[in-house]
Structure 1
């Protein structure tokens, strides 16, 4: 086993340098490689295999995206965009970000549920609370913005849970509806699993 022998002997002569493509929880893509002095380097702008450039977009994401009547989704930038909040007649804001303070606590009704965007987070435990907050706001003729940090994983999962739990949609139906509203949604794998389990639970509840 020559390869194993090389590793065990600590030989670097026969090992070829590689570049690893990494996609983080915000959907940003970069390349990581090890320099000659043994230090890992991150290259935010580098050639992909097809010759195009990978560039992280750090521009503000201030738009509120309409999902259904009275319900919007967005990022932390959208949650601090007062003109758009007023234009969309927002009355309630559901903040599921980490480390993001409420921008206008005197002007809107807030619910804060701090969630980590990792597959291990038990997001399903807050579905009842978040659904009740949204449902009550809409019953009072209000409009709700659901936001996290990037508006990609946590906030989309909360909105999907509302569509599944209150509107009794299947996961894929809810996902396609939300995807039309905000194209870059992407719940992490753990959230997708929990949402599918939630959809099955709702289905069983109404057919038992």
Structure 2
């Protein structure tokens, strides 16, 4: 849809300000496009004219519980069997719809839908003002976050544009034609309705990750442990794979224990060599001392009769 510029002079938009429907309107009401009943826009939302609002049998047939009148010149005192009735006094040149009136009317529709009520929206002929409100509601409803519990809003999360909403209503009510002022207000309202985005809660996401990890760890611990091969190459997997974590945690422990055992063996061998060297040194020392004193009775030194000592490793 092309951008619409606001018409400050309100050209060709001046309408009669009478509070009662004119004879021309009454004649048109007999042959309007809603003479067989209101148009069903959504399963719980209907669009029509003043003729339908004054026809109690049509309202009862569709189980309509809430009526919203957006025509300033239409005053309905009582509607049989209708307990909830709202009168929004809009004109064809209303200039505060985008910022005030649309939001107030849509809140009434949403409240009625939350109570599982069927809503009927009408103006004089059901062509301009009431159609503009229905289009604004579709824009708002389609730009809300989709919720599982939100049954009354089937459009949530679809993010409709003004063109799509207008075409959707025209398919169900072919006679609608909002004027330039109403289209301008709808275009401004489309800009004001911001599409909400989901905000990720870091604490909730962390808590959820921890719970998933704990559940997976507990389920893994209940299973029989598989034998671990140290020479096996670890396969690529996620951090939550408990079998890979078992391999990673056991392999370094085995390697460390082997190194410690080798160190103990080397220390024992060094101690034995030191003891043997000490014994040889003592024997040689005693032999030299006896030779100096002239004790040559035994020509063969006892050093040569030492018992060989072998390492125990």
| TM-score normalised by length of structure 1 | 0.67
For structure 2, the residue ranges without an aligned partner over 5 or more in a row are: 1-11, 16-23, 144-159, 199-313
Name the CA shift for 1:23/1:101 in 2 (closer, same or farther; >3 Å): closer
How many angstroms apart in 2 are the aligned matches of 1:80 and 1:86? Answer: 12
State the superposition RMSD in angstroms: 2.6
Give the conservation status (yes or no) of the 8 Å contact 2:50–2:123.
yes
Give the conservation status (yes or no) of the 8 Å contact 2:29–2:50.
no
Name the CA shift for 1:148/1:192 in 2 (closer, same or farther; >3 Å): same
How many angstroms apart in 1 are the aligned matches of 2:59 and 2:29? Answer: 22
User: Higher Cα Rg: structure 1 or 2?
Assistant: 2
Deviations along 1:91-148, whole A, 9 cap, x unmatched? Answer: 0000001222224166330111101112x53222211111111111111110000000
**SS across alignment from 1:114:** strand
For structure 1, the residue ranges without an aligned partner over 5 or more in a row are: 1-21, 26-43, 45-55
Query: Which structure is higher in RCO with an 8 Å CA cutoff and minimum separation 6?
Result: 1
1:117 to 84, 92, 109: 92
Alignment correspondent of 2:182: 191
**SS across alignment from 1:206:** coil
- Please give the residue correspondences for 1:85-96 in structure 2 after superposition, counting only pairs within 5 Å: 85-96=59-70
**SS across alignment from 1:117:** coil
How many angstroms apart in 1 are the aligned matches of 2:134 and 2:174? Answer: 14
Give the conservation status (yes or no) of the 8 Å contact 1:131–1:166.
no
Bigger strand share = 1
Alignment correspondent of 2:196: 206
**SS across alignment from 2:142:** coil
Moved over 4 A (4+): 22-25
1:159 to 134, 141, 154: 134
Alignment correspondent of 1:59: 30
What's the CA shift for 1:59? 2.4
Bigger helix share = 2
Pairs aligned (count): 156
